Structure 1
Amino acid sequence: MISTTFLLLGLALCLHVAECTPKTTPLDSIVFSALNCRKHSAVLTDFGGVGDGKTSNTKAFTSAINKLSGLASDGGAMLIVPPGKWLTGSFNLTSHFTLYIHKDAVLLGSQDESEWPNIDVLPSYGREINFPGGRLSSLIFGTNLTDVVVTGGNGTIDGQGANWWKKYRNKELNVSRPFLIEIMYSNQVQISNLTLINSPSWNVHPIYSSDVVIQGMTILAPTDSPNTDGINPDSCTNIRIEDCYIVSGDDCIAVKSGWDRYGLKVGMPTQQLVIRRLTCISPDSATIALGSEMSGGIQDVRIEDITAIKTQSGVRIKTAVGRGGFVRDIYVRRMIMKTMKYVFWMTGSYRLHPDPSFDPKALPEITRINYRDMVAENVTYAARLEGISNDPFTGICISNVTITLTETPKKLQWNCTNVEGVTSNVTPSPVCDMLPEKKHVECPFPEDRLPIEDVKLKSCSIASNI
């Protein structure tokens, strides 16, 4: 009988799945793509994991990752979650590490609140958005990491959020609901090829991080579930989000960078962001939202090849007096929208603030916002564009857009206040004096490539020696 014991840090633990796992197991010959491959591998069951859907595996995950962290300087390590249902509370990742979730594995978020520790509020927010009392750690959490991968064969992470949503609606919580995945103060991050369902709140939240690749994600939540944003890049630089399918009760993607004076003080913009090949369904929210917490700034965002179905709005800008910061150099092209309330929506009156002492002189700068090559069908409103008095949104460009209205459209199709820009080849023609028609204008989209676009993933195997 082949031993399943692993030799690790002086313990009797085997380091290579290829040498320890019988060839008949479902872990054989799995190949996947990652930023980096690992020299060492281990399976959760070798640390006491029990995949019966009832036994808590929080200690097993913590023990495994703590031990595997000692291999960071020797080619790194991978923890494999094999087939089964793995109940767990929050656990922390480590550097030079891969968490691989098998296609027949399901991580189940614990219903025991004691398995979700309290952690510090985010410095760029000052308090939690929903509750000033604090926040709970995410199911999968990491901070101050380098080279970390969370991936799988489309394995599932089920946050079991229904009870959290009920408590939120009944005002039974005094702390925020946990996210599914949050990575902070880190670089070289990959989150890919997973199915996330029923998150208690946000699903994926990279913050204060750089060089982030998020791809091949399926994210599902009931469309009436509260605050179940899909992916929220927040005060990050050099990010690539691609090939994702999201059904959400909130924004499918929400780009953020901090809240009012707290975000201004931290001053970390989200920038050099690519979002492409996204499909979104969110009847009450945006396909992609920029803000409303944008006080650290949002710039150089490139959005292309997007499909929105039965979604409230397309690429929406949300801000307010007191935010400060900026949203600028935003580029959108090749977007298809079907059954939308709004095609274009910008608002300068998103008034939620962390405290009543916001600075009314902190006005956001919204400029150089570009949309082109878009088709929208079954639309209720073409545009609702509302800047701020004495602080107009400028440099808006809309070109080559065809809009087909619903059978019962609203009479006022273009509601424009405190905005400046141009339109070109928009059908039907906008009725908006602030966005005059100019012939033969093509709104810009950058021709250069961002550094994250040239990051190549490697082909890795967890059973290469079998």
Structure 2
Amino acid sequence: MEMWTIQRRNQVLDTILLLGIVLVLININGVESRKYSASLIDFGGVGDGVTSNTKAFQAAIFNLSQYASDGGSLLFVPPGKWLTGSFNLTSHFTLHIHKDATLLASQDESEWAVIDPLPSYGRGRDADGGRYISLIFGTNLTDVVITGDNGTIDGQGVTWWNKFHKGELKYTRPYLIEIMYSNEVQISNLTLMNSPSWNVHPVYSSNVVVQGLTILAPVTSPNTDGINPDSCTNTRIEDCYIVSGDDCVAVKSGWDEYGIKFGMPTKQLVIRRLTCISPFSAVIALGSEMSGGIEDVRAEDITGINSESAVRIKTAVGRGNYVKDIYVRRMTMKTMKMVFWMAGNYGSHPDNDYDPNAIPVIQNINFRDVVAENVTMAARLEGIPGHPFSGICISNTTIGLTKKPKKIQWNCTEIAGVSSNVRPQPCNLLTDQGPDNACNFPEDSFTSAIV
């Protein structure tokens, strides 16, 4: 008993020391400090990789929630492997994961509650009805931070991927992090890996910063999107490295009649200094679930390696609303199936009640300062018959081709736009404006760009 007491005391003292260092570093890095703090071990946490810590996380956050209106709180996850099911966050709260700490997502489905489908989607993405709650979840929050000095969250997704492939899922797979109906959200300086499905999903939220993430998944894993801002306003995604089985960043706003009815666009989005590897999907995708609208997206300093496409717009009849005012510059691409891809006939519908007269409007799409090498096809730009995608501009773009390129480099139908200083020569539907007519990129800043 005496030996146990000494060991336990030393463990607590070590954790207090680490916690103090963490609080100092948080202040140095400019993240608002919290008045109260605690360690997961204070609530019975055991970091052996075997013991479930779901109740410890839940108890810790419930206890710390009492300080939301009194300076806020911080929960520190010390070094160790912390097996856990889902837990909910609280307002004015920081979850800080030590660099030598790993959260391991539980394989026990009883630790994953089933919640309602998103109202802008009408059903789950994998199956009708509900969906498993995300590993780290929060709703109706203000001022929440999920961070660390590159601590790890491992979704242990292989079990979920196998169930998906075998058609054994009763509900939609969980995400690693989902924050709903919230304001002032920061997710930063973490490694996320092996998510069951999407990794980071801010939805119906505003003033969101996603920064300094490393996101890793096998490139054949199903739907392991990196970061999916969904019906969000003022979002900044920057300095992230993503290897994904799906789109590295997918911008969304709801699905068909459900997204139209909910009516919440994604707007004022900055994406910068992103590096992506995704052999079967896009570096940045807009859609296909874009029925609330997508507008004012600014992406710059983007690197894509061994990916299917650089920027892809995905939509279809029945989606409705719009994708407009999209600005992209300074992209560097290496080994790509194609650089530009727009599809007006993409994707499935949630049910048969979509409106065939809900035609999405795609307009004012701008790309400039693009260099790509080892590319199979420059572009596939296909609008909707009778409803062309308009206002497309591509300038100062050089695309180097693979040794066995497609015979037709620009496949263009139902589009209208201009080009300037683009090689290989674009299709005739992108009228050549001469060598010195750069596409627009706004230099003004909105809130998310300067937070």
With structure 1 as the length reference, what TM-score do the two structures score?
0.92
Could you give the per-residue CA deviations for residues 136-169 of structure 1, whole angstroms, max 9, x where no partner exists?
A: 0000000000000000010000000011101110
Instruction: State the SS of the aligned residue for 1:407.
Output: coil
**One-letter code aligned to 1:433:** N
Q: How far 1:24 sits from its partner (Å)? A: 8.5
Aligned 1:276-355 pairs, distance under 5 A:
276-355=272-351
Could you give the per-residue CA deviations for residues 419-461 of structure 1, whole angstroms, max 9, x where no partner exists?
A: 000010001211x111111112110000101112221xxxxxx
| Aligned residue in 2 for 1:89 | 85
The structure that is helix-richer by fraction is: 2
Match of 1:68 among 64, 85, 108: 64
Q: How far 1:395 sits from its partner (Å)? A: 0.1
Match of 1:141 among 131, 137, 141: 137
Could you give the per-residue CA deviations for residues 46-66 of structure 1, whole angstroms, max 9, x where no partner exists?
A: 001000000000000000000
Q: How far 1:34 sits from its partner (Å)? A: 5.5
Match of 1:435 among 430, 435, 438: 430
| Aligned residue in 1 for 2:8 | none
Distance, in Å, in 2 between the alignment partners of 1:359 and 1:367 is: 21
Aligned 1:192-211 pairs, distance under 5 A:
192-211=188-207
Q: How far 1:73 sits from its partner (Å)? A: 1.2
Instruction: State the SS of the aligned residue for 1:295.
Output: coil
| Aligned residue in 2 for 1:12 | none
Could you give the per-residue CA deviations for residues 37-92 of structure 1, whole angstroms, max 9, x where no partner exists?
A: 20111000000100000000000000000010001111000000000000000000
Q: Note the aligned Cα RMSD (angstroms).
A: 1.4
Q: Which structure has more RCO (C-alpha within 8 Å, separation ≥ 6)?
A: 1
Distance, in Å, in 2 between the alignment partners of 1:425 and 1:81 is: 52
Matched, 1:44 2:40: yes
**One-letter code aligned to 2:441:** F
Q: Does the C-alpha gap of structure 1 residues 69 and 383 become closer, same or farther in structure 2, counting only changes over 3 Å?
A: same
| Aligned residue in 2 for 1:379 | 375
Distance, in Å, in 2 between the alignment partners of 1:335 and 1:405 is: 16
Retained in 1: the 8 A contact 2:370–2:396? yes
Match of 2:209 among 197, 206, 213: 213
Q: Does the C-alpha gap of structure 1 residues 294 and 21 become closer, same or farther in structure 2, counting only changes over 3 Å?
A: same
**One-letter code aligned to 1:335:** M
Q: How far 1:134 sits from its partner (Å)? A: 1.4
| Aligned residue in 2 for 1:394 | 390
Distance, in Å, in 1 between the alignment partners of 2:422 and 2:43 is: 61
| Aligned residue in 1 for 2:21 | 29
Retained in 2: the 8 A contact 1:34–1:190? no
Distance, in Å, in 2 between the alignment partners of 1:120 and 1:36 is: 33
Q: Does the C-alpha gap of structure 1 residues 43 and 255 become closer, same or farther in structure 2, counting only changes over 3 Å?
A: same
| Aligned residue in 1 for 2:152 | 156
Match of 1:407 among 400, 403, 407: 403
Distance, in Å, in 2 between the alignment partners of 1:22 and 1:379 is: 53
Instruction: State the SS of the aligned residue for 2:430.
Output: coil
Distance, in Å, in 2 between the alignment partners of 1:216 and 1:208 is: 22
Matched, 1:271 2:271: no
Q: Does the C-alpha gap of structure 1 residues 58 and 34 become closer, same or farther in structure 2, counting only changes over 3 Å?
A: farther
Q: Does the C-alpha gap of structure 1 residues 24 and 132 become closer, same or farther in structure 2, counting only changes over 3 Å?
A: closer
Matched, 1:260 2:256: yes
Distance, in Å, in 1 between the alignment partners of 2:30 and 2:375 is: 40
Retained in 1: the 8 A contact 2:126–2:169? no
Could you give the per-residue CA deviations for residues 247-305 of structure 1, whole angstroms, max 9, x where no partner exists?
A: 00000000000000100001000000000000000000000000000000000000000
Q: How far 1:172 sits from its partner (Å)? A: 1.1
Q: How far 1:383 sits from its partner (Å)? A: 0.4
Q: Does the C-alpha gap of structure 1 residues 21 and 39 become closer, same or farther in structure 2, counting only changes over 3 Å?
A: farther
Retained in 2: the 8 A contact 1:276–1:306? yes
Distance, in Å, in 1 between the alignment partners of 2:34 and 2:20 is: 16
Distance, in Å, in 2 between the alignment partners of 1:435 and 1:423 is: 6
Distance, in Å, in 2 between the alignment partners of 1:401 and 1:242 is: 23
Instruction: State the SS of the aligned residue for 1:231.
Output: coil
Could you give the per-residue CA deviations for residues 301-338 of structure 1, whole angstroms, max 9, x where no partner exists?
A: 00000000000001110000000010000000000000
Retained in 1: the 8 A contact 2:83–2:103? yes
Distance, in Å, in 2 between the alignment partners of 1:84 and 1:347 is: 46
Instruction: State the SS of the aligned residue for 1:304.
Output: strand
Q: Does the C-alpha gap of structure 1 residues 275 and 72 become closer, same or farther in structure 2, counting only changes over 3 Å?
A: same
**Percent of aligned positions with the same letter in both sequences?**
70
Retained in 2: the 8 A contact 1:48–1:60? yes
Distance, in Å, in 1 between the alignment partners of 2:117 and 2:173 is: 13
Distance, in Å, in 2 between the alignment partners of 1:356 and 1:334 is: 41
Retained in 2: the 8 A contact 1:252–1:287? yes
Distance, in Å, in 1 between the alignment partners of 2:411 and 2:170 is: 39
What is the aligned length?
437
Distance, in Å, in 2 between the alignment partners of 1:363 and 1:239 is: 27
Q: How far 1:351 sits from its partner (Å)? A: 3.3
Retained in 2: the 8 A contact 1:35–1:190? no
Could you give the per-residue CA deviations for residues 163-214 of structure 1, whole angstroms, max 9, x where no partner exists?
A: 1101110111110110000000000000000000000000000000000000
Distance, in Å, in 2 between the alignment partners of 1:397 and 1:390 is: 20
With structure 2 as the length reference, what TM-score do the two structures score?
0.95
Retained in 2: the 8 A contact 1:159–1:199? yes
Matched, 1:446 2:438: no
| Aligned residue in 2 for 1:249 | 245
**One-letter code aligned to 1:96:** H
